[in-house]
Structure 1
Amino acid sequence: MPGPSEQVFRVMLRMQIKPEMGHEFEKVWLEVGDSVTAHPANLGQWLSRSADENGVYYIVSDWVDEPRFREFETSDRHLEHRQKLHPYRSGGSMTTMHVVAALPGAAS
């Protein structure tokens, strides 16, 4: 785990996807995902579908630090990525955080 000055910066998006568009959204997300993961500061990205809320997805991405994420967030690359996913969205929100600890599970 990085030290306090090198904490992983995590971004979590909650996306409400228009009815009946979930499978197409998942397909497009996979197709355009490298526009995020190819950024030198990106540590990885995950897409999850809610088990409790119909049409809700969560996207989690980890970054080496907040300034590098903010650099990406305002880039043309990010704008283009968002434009490709926007037709599927009916709402959403973003939460950012600093990872302060991690405990690996027995199965890892």
Structure 2
Amino acid sequence: MAAAFRVMLRMEIKPGMGGEFERVWSEIGGSVTSHPANLGQWLSRSDEEGVYYIVSDWVDEPKFREFETSERHLEHRQKLHPYRSGGSMTTMHVVAHLPGSAEAGAAHTDWAVAR
């Protein structure tokens, strides 16, 4: 995945709306992940109250920018907008990826993996 283009959104969610935001994000996420250039998307809840991070990987920046300006993306954003009170977007190019032992399916012999 060394050539991936990564987008990270920091989303500030209105108080008391986190659970509903998570539900809606899960329901509509296919509008992003079904795009042929999307490599996957992750939603993470921060320890900071009401803050979420969405990370989305793309085959390259031009394909992401094409999606970003599409009607499909506009509809997706409109469905999440009622929950949002602020946020920001950061983009980056992934230059390297080192898979961990758990990802590769084999735990390192010096470490015990709790299950």
Same fold, TM-score > 0.5, yes or no: yes
**Structure 1 SS opposite 2:23:** helix
Aligned to 1:77: 72
1:53-91 CA distance string (max 9 Å, x none) = 100000000000000000000000000000000000000
How far, CA to CA, are the matches of 1:84 and 1:44 in structure 2? 19
The answer to whether residue 11 in structure 2 is matched with residue 15 in structure 1 is yes
**TM score, norm. by length of structure 2:** 0.88
The answer to whether residue 51 in structure 2 is matched with residue 56 in structure 1 is yes
How far, CA to CA, are the matches of 1:84 and 1:106 in structure 2? 38
Aligned to 1:90: 85
Q: CA deviation at 1:106?
A: 1.7
The answer to whether residue 29 in structure 2 is matched with residue 30 in structure 1 is no
Number of paired residues?
A: 103
How far, CA to CA, are the matches of 1:48 and 1:90 in structure 2? 17
- The runs of 5 or more residues in structure 1 that have no matched partner are none
Output the aligned Cα RMSD: 0.7
Q: CA deviation at 1:107?
A: 1.6
- The runs of 5 or more residues in structure 2 that have no matched partner are 104-115
Runs of 4+ in 1 over 4 A off after TM superposition: none
How far, CA to CA, are the matches of 1:107 and 1:31 in structure 2? 28
Q: Highest CA radius of gyration, 1 or 2? A: 2
Percent identical among aligned pairs is 83
Amino acid at match of 2:102: A
Amino acid at match of 1:71: E
**TM score, norm. by length of structure 1:** 0.93
